[in-house]
Structures are given as structure tokens and as C-alpha cells.
Amino acid sequence: MRRLFLLVLAGAATLVAGQKIVGGPVAVNVTSNSATVVWVVESDQTTLRPAGAEARTAPSLHVEKTTLTGLQPNTKYEYDVGGQDGRKGSFKTPPTGAAPFQFVVFGDTRSRHDVHRRVIEAMLKHGVPDLALNTGDLVANGNDSAMWPVFFDIEKDLLRQTAYFPALGNHERNSRDFYDIFQVTTPYYSFNWGNAHFIILNSDIGNAATSKSARDAYWAEQTRWLEEDLEANQKADYRFLVSHYPPFSAVSNRQPENSWVAALVPMFEKYHISAGFFGHDHNYQHYLKNGVHYVTTGGGGAPLYNVNRPPADILQKVVSTEHFVTIGVDGKVARLQAIAVDGSTLDEFEIKGGAQQ
């Protein structure tokens, strides 16, 4: 039975004059028995006045959080951050078994804020997901503090009703703000939700280290972790992977960029990935290769790219339009729909679940 609890988080009540909440609240790192509620506070502003140019103002941000433990599985919790108007939210903890759940995947929300807003509005018309995953490039520059309040303002109605799990994109620039806001200790991680295992991979190798040798070492370490994680979770009915860079691309000038992710395809097949979700290409792409679905969902707001040269032998669907992807998991069948910002269905298919021995 699902139960409802109200949590009052008092941290925001201590805000001093001049401070205001400009991001969140949002529930991150949600498990069946714990969660962290995060909100971003603007404590001051800095104004830069270049000689002969227009002044530029950037906020000074810091992150507040409350970590909650002792929660119950498959339970909806409502929270209230310090009693502040508009700072209420909710999330649901994952079930421990094969109870139905719904999640949404989208990405590349970094620009064209009006389009990003329409994508979120269209998404919520299809129902509030239990969890939301972003394939990266949340903002145009993760080091620019002025961009995070804009992101949170656009996504606030989604973030206050779900659990949020983002991947690191190249436009995050490996920013410290990304780690602080979303309480990520490493840029690759995994978690369980019901009968599914989720893996968030960091494919932004360009910003992972300053030298080639260090980047190579980082990728080797992450690849070892990935294989160990996959091997340990073969009993899950589904293994879903989220990464910014895709292994395949319909954008001709993007294809050479994906070699390190493409090299993982044999591992994806060996350990029976159910589906991989990717961004970076600002369009929708769906490929099927040796039983593994590869879905690129980068239509969250960034300028669209043409789909001019898809790999024809594995092609299922490509279209250049703004969209999001919703997946309903019910036992051993997961139903995926790619939905355009106007509400029309771009693509739909089923993924069969089942533990691997």
C-alpha cells in the first residue's frame, strides 16, 4: 500500500535578509529508504563592468540540503522547505519488487529557453513520472552561475514532483555546481528502481582531465566499474543506461566524436542492456542492434541538428524535432513512447524484460 507522509524541512527558515531560493527544491539520490532534498540559495550578486561594455551581473549561489533516512519503499512523501511559499514538493520512493512505474528521459535543455519550457509543459500533460533522467547539457555553461536559476525556473513544476537523476554533459564543463546541486560524488553511478537497474555513465571525457594520459586512465577506470556493475546486476529484469555521447549518430559530422562510447557496444550486448539513452545530438534517433535499443533524446531545447546520415542497417526511426521520451515499466514489459512537443507520437515500441543467467 502506498502511504503519504509530510516532511517539513526547516533549513530554509534560517535565510537571512537578501537571500532567496533560486533553485529547487528537488529530490535527488532517491532510494527505497532514503532521499536528499536540495535547494539552491542566492546569497548575493556580483556585477562586472568591462570598460566600454554593458555591465554583467551573476548571482552568488550555495546549496542547502536535507538527507532523509528511514523511509518506506513505494511511498509518496510531500515536503515543505521551511514553510516558504512555492517551496513545497513531493517524491515517491521506488518499490522493492516488480510494481509498475513510469520514468521520463530527455536532454540538451541548455538553450532556447522558450522551447525548453514548452517541452516541460508537454511532458507534464502526459502525467508526472516517478523519476526523470536528463541525458546532459542541462545548461549552456555549468560554470556560469547565472544559468542555473534559469534552468530551475523552467523545470520547477517537474522537479518538485519527481526524483531527478542527471548525466553529465560536455556543456556542464565538469562544473563543481553540477556535483553540489545534484549531490553527485562521482559523475558515473548506478541505482535500482523496482525491477530495473539504472546506470548513469560519464561520456564527457574531454572535460574529465587535462591530459590525454589522464583521460585514458579515467576512461579505463570507468569502463572497469561499468563491467563490474553490469555483471553484478544480471538478475534485474531491465538494465537501462544513460549517457550524454551516443555510440551511433545520424549527424554526419558527429560520428567521429563517439568512438569511445561505440567501443562499449560489445559490452552492452554481452551484459544484455535493455536500452541505452543518450543526448548530444539535438534530435530523436532509435536504433536496434543485436537486441539492444539505442535511443538518442536530445530535443529538450538546444538548436536542432539534421538527421542526414543514420546507420541504415540498425535504423528504426530518426526525426529532427523537440521531444521527450516516456517509459512505462509493468512487470516484464516496458513500453516506450517518444513524444513531440506538440503532443504527437514520434515512435513507440516495447522492451521485453527478464533476468539474465
Three state DSSP letters for 31-44:
CCCEEEEEEEEEEE
Residues 6+ apart with CB under 8 A from 36: 27, 28, 29, 65, 66, 67, 68, 183
Mean pLDDT confidence for 312-333:
97
All domains of the chain in start order, with CATH: 1-93 (2.60.40), 97-352 (3.60.21.10)
Residues 6+ apart with CB under 8 A from 301: 108, 109, 110, 111, 112, 113, 115, 116, 119, 322
Burial class (CB within 10 angstroms; exposed 0-12, middle 13-18, buried 19+) of 266: exposed
Mean pLDDT confidence for 178-201:
97
Give the pLDDT score at 20.
86
Give the pLDDT score at 13.
44
Mean pLDDT confidence for 304-324:
96
* 129-146 per-position pLDDT tens digit: 999 999 999 999 999 999
Give the pLDDT score at 6.
61
Q: What are phi and psi of 186, to 5 degrees?
A: -130, 150
Mean pLDDT confidence for 12-35:
80
Measured CA to CA, the distance from residue 163 to residue 31 in angstroms comes to 9
* 226-248 per-position pLDDT tens digit: 999 999 999 999 999 999 999 99
Give the pLDDT score at 83.
61
Mean pLDDT confidence for 156-181:
97
Judged by DSSP in three states, 258 sits in helix
Q: Which residues pair with 284 in a beta bridge?
A: 297, 319
Output the CA angle 30-31-35, nearest 5 degrees.
40
Eight-state DSSP code of residue 216: H
Q: Of 62, 27, 336, which Cα lies nearest the Cα of 164? A: 27
Share of the chain above pLDDT 70, in %: 92
Measured CA to CA, the distance from residue 7 to residue 90 in angstroms comes to 9
Mark out the alpha helices in 233-264 (DSSP H runs): 259-262
**Residue 109 near residue 300, CB atoms below 8 Å:** yes
**Residue 42 near residue 57, CB atoms below 8 Å:** no
Give the pLDDT score at 16.
47
**Residue 236 near residue 194, CB atoms below 8 Å:** no
* 67-89 per-position pLDDT tens digit: 999 999 999 999 998 765 658 99
Give the pLDDT score at 277.
98
Measured CA to CA, the distance from residue 233 to residue 355 in angstroms comes to 9
